[in-house]
Chains A and B, each alone.
Chain A
């Protein structure tokens, strides 16, 4: 800046100089000094000439010209003497000049002479000529000097001007440079300022972006504790926009207590939001700040803690669950070890004793014990496995199966008949009015529930009754239906205080009778889980000493309800009907045992060790049942079955799969293959027997539709089956059995009449049941049906027309036997 001022000053000064120089040069030029000085000599010469002319010519005209010449010279000299522009010339200071123009000089001397009259003038001519000629040469000298002086001065002036001009140009250039520098500086400053501004802008932008993108809420709070600004997260958290015009008083959204919040500290509080929106837990920290202008404000950082709190809660819950699981596991291990060891030790000691016992009765006893212990141990294992599976999976893992619920219940009851009979208990089943409910439900779960409830009922009842009731919630139609199954016994009962604990796993009630009973206490727990898995529940009612009633409710989809059939499907009889069985089992011991069991039950068994052999045997001979183990060498059960199906050998022969793998999806897979049934090893012999008989009888029914009579009533004899029977046992045996039956039948009728007289309806039902079984063996279809019907009605109360019914049965019995005899003679 200072430099610029200096340079400008110099420029102005120089300019002024130049101007002056120029003016001066013009002035110097304009007076034409050279001309004027040169003219001096010219005019002097002219005067000289005029003088000469006048001396030679004395006329008046010559004198006139002389005077004129003198005046011209005079005025010239006058000019030169006075002109200020000739000041700097040295000519006027020369002695010659003084001689010419000074006081006493030539001009002065001539004046009076010129001004006198003509005569005087004429006379003075010679002296005038003298004087002027002496002056001529010196005059020339000074004139020449003056001219060269002029030239020199002119040059000097020009040089000076040039210098000045250069100086001016120089300063101009310097000024230009200075200006350029200044401009550059300004430009650079502007640039840097721009850069700075841009950086600032970028920083601000970045900062704003940072704040805006922060997942935590950032609130700006002014000194009146009003929230005047918030980032995006903050507005989202509050659920509203915030701005200087729409400020939110801090106290309305956060309750920081009387002391507020110290800067730098965090506090967990609740953020209240606008109407209708629930408050959320947040963690808040407050910082104090000041703007550049000294205005103080606060910044609040809020973090939504909902997720964190939820996670903490989940974690706590999971920890609690794990802890509970640990506890349960510990209890389980404690109980299990006892409950498993008891039967197994009993089994082992019994087997030991067997070695040293020779008494057949004692031997039998010990064998029974071994069986019981083994079964008990198996039950424990099954229960535990079931519980594990039920706890780990949900109902979705159990594939739904179409089955008759009534039949399933009856099957389970049958299994426990023997045990019940041993303890003097009677199991009665009260099915719904419509017996045929085909439902889609997880069959294993239903079986499990029934099994466990029945087991408990039988276990805790001695010489009592167990009533199994099945009821539905609505009239007949396909669709979802709620079933209520109750198992009520007249056993020892459960104390009211213990009722709650009953469903806890591994809780065995500490009562005087419970010691005699064994059980891991899992049964009811499993039953509960199973019921719940089916979308239902289980309830218990009990009174000590009087009995207990368990009620299970569950939902299942009813597929179809066929017309109530007047003739129920006959139950398989207790007596053995010999079947032709193909057994495929690779394990030698298992095969041998099973073969012996089946043969002992009266069946004919062909045993093979692998699937290939099974296939060969099945191709050669037609069997009633094929029992197919799944895991076998050479060819496994699955492959063999597939081949059987391909060859159409499964059309008349149901295949029962024997497998140790109990997973429900595995079971379903086997069913999908076409297995009629899947039995989990070890196979319960009675269960297996029932199953086989049922399958075979169903097949018979399917295959013998022609046997059904026109009116819908059953034929007296089922020829097909009778033939099979005769083939099996021979004519002689047949006749013998027939005679036996006739005797038994009359005995039964007598017993019924007696029971009726005593009002013992249960007895009526019992006898009828037994009789029905016997009739069924001999393929006396109609009679069987009638006897079964009688049994059902008797179990619900004595029918009014019992007498007529009995008469009818007596007559039918005779007819049926006759028909058999006739048939025998015919073939």
Chain B
């Protein structure tokens, strides 16, 4: 029991350290239609205006508060404009998001859950999250499909 607790703490610390170590590293690369790529660090992402909402998800237990910049704002900051966004996760899972479906408040690229960063092992560091509870339209299959975690790349065409 104690050993698992220790392990848990260790994991936590480590993940925290790791994420701290990675804070200055690129965690997101955005390639725009013209072929130009830009990379963002965690700090850079967190420097952008934050959007936050509390919602339940089909992957978590109970409601959680997600905060982060809106995908739309990030793309704008990256100067990426087009029709389709291809979002790729660390495990090479890719999903298409139509550019015009982006709203100011949804989706967001969540950087913190309940105010804390979340490691890779907990679907971190970046997770495209919609405010599922706020509207029925976000409870669609297709939205769940776009809710890509372990986000690593965004490619706009």
A82 contact from B60, B119, B144, Cβ within 8 A: B60
Q: Give the residues from 46 to 99 in chain A that come closer than 8 angstroms, CB to CB, to chain B.
A: 46, 68, 71-72, 74-75, 78-79, 82-85
Instruction: Please determine whether B141 and A29 come into contact, CB atoms closer than 8 angstroms.
Output: yes
**Known A30-B141, A71-B120, A72-B120: A112·B58 in contact at CB below 8 Å:** no
Instruction: Please determine whether B10 and A75 come into contact, CB atoms closer than 8 angstroms.
Output: no
A112 contact from B7, B123, B140, B145, Cβ within 8 A: B7
CB distance from B150 to the nearest CB of A (A): 7
Instruction: Please determine whether B121 and A74 come into contact, CB atoms closer than 8 angstroms.
Output: yes
On chain B, the residues within 8 Å of A83 by CB distance are: 58-59
CB distance from B87 to the nearest CB of A (A): 16
**Known A43-B91, A83-B59: A72·B150 in contact at CB below 8 Å:** yes
On chain A, the residues within 8 Å of B60 by CB distance are: 82
Instruction: Please determine whether A115 and B14 come into contact, CB atoms closer than 8 angstroms.
Output: yes
**Chain B minimum-CB-distance residue to A23:** B139
On chain A, the residues within 8 Å of B66 by CB distance are: none
On chain A, the residues within 8 Å of B59 by CB distance are: 31, 79, 82-83
Instruction: Say yes or no: is A27 at the interface (Cβ < 8 Å to chain B).
Output: yes
In whole angstroms, what is the CA distance A32 to B14 when docked? Answer: 32
Instruction: Say yes or no: is A103 at the interface (Cβ < 8 Å to chain B).
Output: yes
Instruction: Please determine whether A115 and B10 come into contact, CB atoms closer than 8 angstroms.
Output: yes
Instruction: Say yes or no: is B90 at the interface (Cβ < 8 Å to chain A).
Output: yes
**Chain A minimum-CB-distance residue to B132:** A30
CB distance from A551 to the nearest CB of B (A): 136
Instruction: Please determine whether B11 and A115 come into contact, CB atoms closer than 8 angstroms.
Output: yes
Per DSSP, chain A at the interface is: helix
Instruction: Say yes or no: is B122 at the interface (Cβ < 8 Å to chain A).
Output: yes
**Known A72-B90, A72-B150, A112-B10: A32·B144 in contact at CB below 8 Å:** yes
Instruction: Please determine whether B61 and A84 come into contact, CB atoms closer than 8 angstroms.
Output: yes
**Known A43-B91, A72-B91: A26·B139 in contact at CB below 8 Å:** yes
Instruction: Say yes or no: is B4 at the interface (Cβ < 8 Å to chain A).
Output: yes
Instruction: Please determine whether A30 and B140 come into contact, CB atoms closer than 8 angstroms.
Output: yes
Instruction: Please determine whether B58 and A85 come into contact, CB atoms closer than 8 angstroms.
Output: yes
CB distance from B122 to the nearest CB of A (A): 6
**Chain B minimum-CB-distance residue to A111:** B11
On chain B, the residues within 8 Å of A27 by CB distance are: 58
Instruction: Say yes or no: is A184 at the interface (Cβ < 8 Å to chain B).
Output: no
On chain A, the residues within 8 Å of B130 by CB distance are: none
Instruction: Please determine whether A75 and B149 come into contact, CB atoms closer than 8 angstroms.
Output: yes
CB distance from A614 to the nearest CB of B (A): 143
On chain A, the residues within 8 Å of B58 by CB distance are: 27, 30-31, 83, 85
Instruction: Please determine whether A26 and B121 come into contact, CB atoms closer than 8 angstroms.
Output: no
**Known A30-B144, A83-B58: A75·B11 in contact at CB below 8 Å:** no
**Chain B minimum-CB-distance residue to A42:** B91
**Chain A minimum-CB-distance residue to B56:** A84
Instruction: Say yes or no: is A108 at the interface (Cβ < 8 Å to chain B).
Output: yes
Contact with A along B1-40 (1 / 0, CB 8 A): 0001001001100100000000000000000000000000
CB distance from A36 to the nearest CB of B (A): 9
Instruction: Please determine whether A46 and B11 come into contact, CB atoms closer than 8 angstroms.
Output: no
**Known A83-B59, A112-B10: A75·B123 in contact at CB below 8 Å:** yes
In whole angstroms, what is the CA distance A78 to B58 when docked? Answer: 13
CB distance from A33 to the nearest CB of B (A): 10
Instruction: Please determine whether B123 and A79 come into contact, CB atoms closer than 8 angstroms.
Output: yes
CB distance from A312 to the nearest CB of B (A): 102
Contact with B along A100-120 (1 / 0, CB 8 A): 000100001001100100000
**Known A30-B140, A30-B144, A72-B91: A103·B4 in contact at CB below 8 Å:** yes
**Chain B minimum-CB-distance residue to A32:** B144
CB distance from A106 to the nearest CB of B (A): 14
On chain B, the residues within 8 Å of A30 by CB distance are: 58, 139-141, 144
Instruction: Please determine whether A75 and B150 come into contact, CB atoms closer than 8 angstroms.
Output: yes
In whole angstroms, what is the CA distance A628 to B122 when docked? Answer: 167
On chain B, the residues within 8 Å of A78 by CB distance are: 121-123
On chain A, the residues within 8 Å of B4 by CB distance are: 103, 108
**Chain B minimum-CB-distance residue to A112:** B7
Instruction: Please determine whether A68 and B141 come into contact, CB atoms closer than 8 angstroms.
Output: no
**Chain B minimum-CB-distance residue to A77:** B121
Instruction: Please determine whether A68 and B120 come into contact, CB atoms closer than 8 angstroms.
Output: yes
**Chain B minimum-CB-distance residue to A85:** B58
Q: Give the residues from 524 to 554 in chain A that come closer than 8 angstroms, CB to CB, to chain B.
A: none
On chain B, the residues within 8 Å of A108 by CB distance are: 4, 7
On chain A, the residues within 8 Å of B145 by CB distance are: 32
A75 contact from B61, B122, B144, Cβ within 8 A: B122
Contact with A along B88-122 (1 / 0, CB 8 A): 00110000000000000000000000000001111
Contact with B along A482-497 (1 / 0, CB 8 A): 0000000000000000
CB distance from A470 to the nearest CB of B (A): 140
In whole angstroms, what is the CA distance A30 to B144 when docked? Answer: 7
**Chain B minimum-CB-distance residue to A29:** B141
In whole angstroms, what is the CA distance A695 to B7 when docked? Answer: 185
Instruction: Please determine whether A71 and B61 come into contact, CB atoms closer than 8 angstroms.
Output: no
CB distance from B92 to the nearest CB of A (A): 9
**Known A29-B141, A83-B58: A111·B90 in contact at CB below 8 Å:** no
Instruction: Please determine whether A71 and B139 come into contact, CB atoms closer than 8 angstroms.
Output: no
On chain B, the residues within 8 Å of A75 by CB distance are: 120-123, 149-150
In whole angstroms, what is the CA distance A84 to B91 when docked? Answer: 23
On chain A, the residues within 8 Å of B149 by CB distance are: 75
On chain B, the residues within 8 Å of A79 by CB distance are: 59, 123
CB distance from A145 to the nearest CB of B (A): 22
In whole angstroms, what is the CA distance A84 to B58 when docked? Answer: 8
**Chain A minimum-CB-distance residue to B123:** A75
On chain B, the residues within 8 Å of A85 by CB distance are: 58
On chain B, the residues within 8 Å of A46 by CB distance are: 91
Instruction: Please determine whether A71 and B140 come into contact, CB atoms closer than 8 angstroms.
Output: no
In whole angstroms, what is the CA distance A26 to B61 when docked? Answer: 18
Contact with A along B57-69 (1 / 0, CB 8 A): 0111100000000
In whole angstroms, what is the CA distance A30 to B139 when docked? Answer: 8
Q: Give the residues from 8 to 40 in chain A that come closer than 8 angstroms, CB to CB, to chain B.
A: 26-27, 29-32
In whole angstroms, what is the CA distance A74 to B11 when docked? Answer: 12
Which of B58, B141, B150 has most chain A Cβ within 10 Å? Answer: B58
In whole angstroms, what is the CA distance A31 to B139 when docked? Answer: 11
In whole angstroms, what is the CA distance A324 to B58 when docked? Answer: 132
Contact with B along A280-319 (1 / 0, CB 8 A): 0000000000000000000000000000000000000000
On chain B, the residues within 8 Å of A31 by CB distance are: 58-59, 144
CB distance from A647 to the nearest CB of B (A): 141
In whole angstroms, what is the CA distance A74 to B58 when docked? Answer: 18
CB distance from A158 to the nearest CB of B (A): 16
**Chain A minimum-CB-distance residue to B118:** A75
On chain A, the residues within 8 Å of B14 by CB distance are: 115
On chain A, the residues within 8 Å of B61 by CB distance are: 82, 84
CB distance from B115 to the nearest CB of A (A): 20
CB distance from A382 to the nearest CB of B (A): 137
In whole angstroms, what is the CA distance A108 to B58 when docked? Answer: 24
CB distance from B143 to the nearest CB of A (A): 9
Query: Which are the 10 A-B pairs with shortest beta-carbon distances?
Result: A71-B120, A74-B121, A72-B91, A115-B14, A30-B144, A31-B58, A71-B121, A30-B141, A75-B123, A75-B121
Interface residues of B (CB under 8 A from A): 4, 7, 10-11, 14, 58-61, 90-91, 119-123, 139-141, 144-145, 149-150
Name 5 A/B residue pairs within 8 A (Cβ), A-sorted. A30-B141, A71-B90, A71-B121, A72-B120, A112-B7
| Besides the known contacts A30-B144, A112-B10, 18 further A-B residue pairs in the complex with CB atoms under 8 A apart | A32-B144, A32-B145, A43-B91, A46-B91, A68-B120, A71-B90, A71-B119, A71-B120, A71-B150, A78-B121, A78-B122, A78-B123, A79-B59, A83-B59, A108-B7, A112-B7, A115-B10, A115-B14
